[in-house]
Each structure stands twice: as structure tokens, then as C-alpha cells.
Amino acid sequence: MPHKLACWLAVGLVLLLAACSGDPGTGPKDVRWDRDACERCRMVLSDRNFSAQIRYFPEGKTRSRVVVFDDIGCAILWLEEQPWKDDPRTEIWVTDHRNGEWIDARVATYVKGKITPMEFGLGAQPEPLEGGLDFEQAKQHILKVEERFNIHGVHLLERFKQQAAQRDAARKAQRAESTLPTIIPEQKP
């Protein structure tokens, strides 16, 4: 009898520990700095003052997934491409530009003029600031920067492809011109 009781206690303890461990399902996760890569541009996360995370629920799943970003700009641009971007369960976290602590991106105030990993130039902080941007204004700023420069993350590869195609077209045109017969005007005696 004591053996059965010990087995049941062990099983109960294992189940209890399994239920308590793992992903809490909410909040930011621990980032492995200088190891984790940005979900959008694949740059390694090194700058602890300008990083972001998105916790979302993949379609048809009950457990959340967390992806990390090296800049709030990458996070917003990536999120805009997702079909579930407006799901109320989606959480967006950014680091405070002064101390690297995680704060809710939707209630943060954004300060312009910062040097950030992907040059979107926004730093987040929890306190309101005169002249600071709220989340929607920060999102519009990011979309305008991306539209104006369109060189960040995956778009950089597309830009290189376009430039290569333009160079190839120019070379073909130059070769076509050089193969045309040259007409030498007759000289009169």
C-alpha cells in the first residue's frame, strides 16, 4: 500500500510541475541576446534598448508563440503582413530606450531622433512626453520611413535585384549599340 501511495504522489507531482512549467502564455519572454535573430530582417538582437517582441496565437492554435525583433520598425512591418494582426490577444512589447526593460508597446510613448538598429529612429518609454508619439503615431512614422527609403530587411534584397536588372538592361543596350554597323560618310576628293 505505501508503494502505491508513493507512485500516485510522484505522478501527481510530475503533473503539477508540468502544468507550472513552460511558457506562461502572456508577457515578454527572455531574449538570448547576441543569439536570437530578428524575425523580419534576421539581424542578431544585440541592442537591448530598442528591441521588440510580438506574442501571438497562430491560427487554429491555443498556445501563443513569441517572435523577437531588433527594432520596433521591424516588428510593426512584420505585424502588418500577418492576417491575425488585429487579434486582441496579440501582445507587442518594446524595450525602454533608457534601461532595456520590457514595456507594453501599445501604451508606450515614442521618442524620435534615436539611433536604432534598423534606423527607424524611435525609442520607447513608459512615461508620456511632450512631443512624443503614441503607438498609432509611431506606427505611421514607421510606415512612412519604410515607404520613403524601402531598404530595410527583406526589401533590401528586392532592391539589389532591381539594381542588378537595371545594370543588365544597360549592358545589353550598350552591347546592342556596339554591334550596329558603323556608317562612315564618303569623303569627296
pLDDT digits over 81-110, tens only? 999 999 999 999 999 999 999 999 999 999
Please state the rounded mean pLDDT for residues 35-43.
Answer: 95
Whether 11 is covered by a domain: the verdict is no
Q: Name the residue range of residue 145's domain.
A: 23-169
pLDDT at 93: 98
**Residue 99: phi, psi to the nearest 5?**
-135, 0
Please state the rounded mean pLDDT for residues 107-133.
Answer: 95
Q: Are 57 and 65 in contact (CB under 8 A)?
A: yes
Whether 111 is covered by a domain: the verdict is yes
Q: Which residues contact 133 (CB under 8 A, 6 or more apart)?
A: 109, 110, 111, 112, 122, 141
**CA 45 to CA 47: how far, in whole Å?**
6
pLDDT at 21: 46
3-state secondary structure of 124: strand
pTM, two decimals, is: 0.68
Whether 98 is covered by a domain: the verdict is yes
Q: Are 92 and 53 in contact (CB under 8 A)?
A: yes
pLDDT at 45: 96
Whether 74 is covered by a domain: the verdict is yes
Share of the chain above pLDDT 70, in %: 77
Whether 9 is covered by a domain: the verdict is no
Q: How many domains does the chain have?
A: 1
Axis crossing angle, helix 135-149 with helix 72-80, rounded to the nearest 10: 90
**CA 77 to CA 84: how far, in whole Å?**
14
189 pLDDT exceeds 90? no
**CA 62 to CA 28: how far, in whole Å?**
18
**CA 81 to CA 83: how far, in whole Å?**
7
Whether 178 is covered by a domain: the verdict is no
Q: Are 102 and 95 in contact (CB under 8 A)?
A: yes
Whether 15 is covered by a domain: the verdict is no
Whether 183 is covered by a domain: the verdict is no
